[in-house]
């Protein structure tokens, strides 16, 4: 269950085009005969209060100092998981496309640098419906970005964004999220397949309900050949306060209390089972593991 750092270097050396991609990060691990690779969709630019707003400033001061987190904007990576088992070529989430933030939307170039075409993607499995995870399902012409792929989303997550009342209830700051999600979901309605908590969505890939960040957020446990990893989306949304103080309520989560409960339970499981994780906004390509640290945890990349 070790991440192949040598493979990381080999791939990076073999892909000189990657130097042109902003903040491209790549990590890879073997899962039996399958591989799990992270591919970049660029970065986001977020105000610090997007995460820290609800948190007591004195409580998180030392964490912010340790990680050099000033009052300036946060620029988290966007790392998608690409799973290949010899039969299926699976993307977890679709990235943001080019209509969300100028610093994001590079997934097509990242896949091209890996030698993977959009037509080769057999499945796109969504963790949730936020813009940086869903909006890239359509290209710049509103055509399917992955025309041969089966699209899959948790039933509860789909129902939440499909509900016409969500745009009125989600709050002004996220109303555009809801409108954008609904527009894209209308375009893919005939292509979508649903799953529920505990379902085996593909051989060796099981859905795990991890709600709070959004109402129907899903993570995925991948087990092949005695190895395992968790694709956690935004259930653990950063490498600093979410690990050191998972109990603190984050402004990035729609249901803050539920998200904190989910984070704590997930980190307990990750550390007790020593699982490799892929987090969408974690650094260094998003792949690593969690270790206990005092009363909290720390993220170990690579």
Residues facing residue 80 across a β-bridge: 39
Pair of tokens at residue 32: 């039996």
User: What pLDDT does 259 receive?
Assistant: 98
Q: CB-based contacts of 178: which residues, under 8 Å, 6+ apart?
A: 161, 166, 167, 170
Q: Tell me how far apart the alpha carbons of residues 259 and 252 are, in angstroms, rounded to a whole number.
A: 10
Domain count along the chain = 1
With tokens 């969709």, the residue in question is 41
pTM above 0.75, yes or no: yes
Residues facing residue 153 across a β-bridge: 194
User: What pLDDT does 1 receive?
Assistant: 34
Residue-wise pLDDT tens digits, 49-83: 999 999 999 999 999 999 999 999 999 999 999 99
Q: Tell me how far apart the alpha carbons of residues 29 and 302 are, in angstroms, rounded to a whole number.
A: 10
Estimate to the nearest angstrom the gap between the alpha carbon of 144 and the chain centroid.
Answer: 20
For residue 224, the domain's CATH number is: 3.60.15.10
Pair of tokens at residue 103: 């610093």
Q: Tell me how far apart the alpha carbons of residues 183 and 53 are, in angstroms, rounded to a whole number.
A: 30
Pair of tokens at residue 181: 């999600």
User: What pLDDT does 25 receive?
Assistant: 52
Domain that holds residue 14: 5-301
Q: What is the mean pLDDT of each run of 10 residues along the chain (302 residues)?
A: 34 38 69 96 96 97 96 96 97 96 95 95 98 97 97 98 97 96 97 97 98 98 94 98 98 98 98 97 96 96 86
**Three-state helix/strand/coil letters over the chain:** CCECHHHHHHHHHHCHHHHHCCCCCCCEEEECCEEEEEEEEEECCECCHHHHCCCCHHHHHHHHHHCCCCCCCECCEEEEEEEECCCCEEEECCCCCCCCCCCECCHHHHHHHCCCCHHHCCEEECCCCCHHHHHHHECCCCCECCCCCEEEEEHHHHHHHHCCCHHHHCCHHHHHHHHHHHHHHHHHHHHEEEECCCCEEECCEEEEECCCCCCCCEEEEEEECCEEEEEEECCCCCCCHHHHCCCCCCCCCCCHHHHHHHHHHHHHHHHHHCCEEEECCCCCCCEEEEEEECCEEEEEEC
């Amino acid at each position: 269950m070790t991440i192949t750092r040598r493979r990381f270097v080999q791939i990076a050396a073999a892909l000189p085009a990657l130097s042109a991609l902003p903040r491209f990060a790549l990590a890879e691990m073997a899962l039996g005969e399958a591989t799990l690779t992270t591919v970049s969709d660029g970065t986001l630019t977020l105000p610090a209060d997007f995460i820290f707003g609800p948190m007591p400033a004195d409580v998180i001061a030392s964490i912010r100092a340790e990680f050099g987190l000033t009052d300036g904007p946060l620029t988290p990576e966007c790392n998608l998981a690409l799973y290949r088992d010899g039969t299926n070529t699976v993307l977890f989430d679709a990235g943001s496309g080019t209509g969300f933030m100028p610093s994001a939307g590079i997934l097509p170039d990242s896949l091209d640098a890996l030698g993977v075409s959009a037509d080769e993607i057999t499945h796109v499995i969504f963790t949730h419906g936020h813009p940086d995870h869903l909006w890239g399902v359509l290209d710049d012409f509103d055509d399917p970005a992955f025309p041969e792929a089966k699209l899959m989303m948790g039933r509860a997550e789909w129902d939440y964004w499909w509900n016409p009342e969500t745009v009125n209830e989600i709050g002004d700051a996220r109303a555009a999220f809801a409108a954008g999600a609904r527009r894209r979901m209308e375009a893919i309605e005939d292509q979508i397949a649903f799953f529920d908590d505990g379902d085996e969505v593909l051989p060796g890939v099981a859905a795990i309900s991890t709600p709070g960040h959004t109402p129907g957020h899903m993570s995925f446990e991948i087990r092949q050949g005695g190895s395992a990893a968790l694709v956690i989306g935004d259930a653990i949304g950063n490498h600093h306060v979410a690990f050191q103080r998972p109990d603190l309520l984050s402004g990035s989560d729609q249901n803050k209390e539920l998200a904190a409960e989910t984070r704590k339970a997930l980190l307990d499981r990750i550390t007790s089972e020593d699982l490799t994780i892929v987090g969408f906004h974690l650094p260094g390509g998003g792949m690593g593991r969690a270790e206990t640290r005092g009363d909290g945890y720390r993220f170990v990349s690579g």
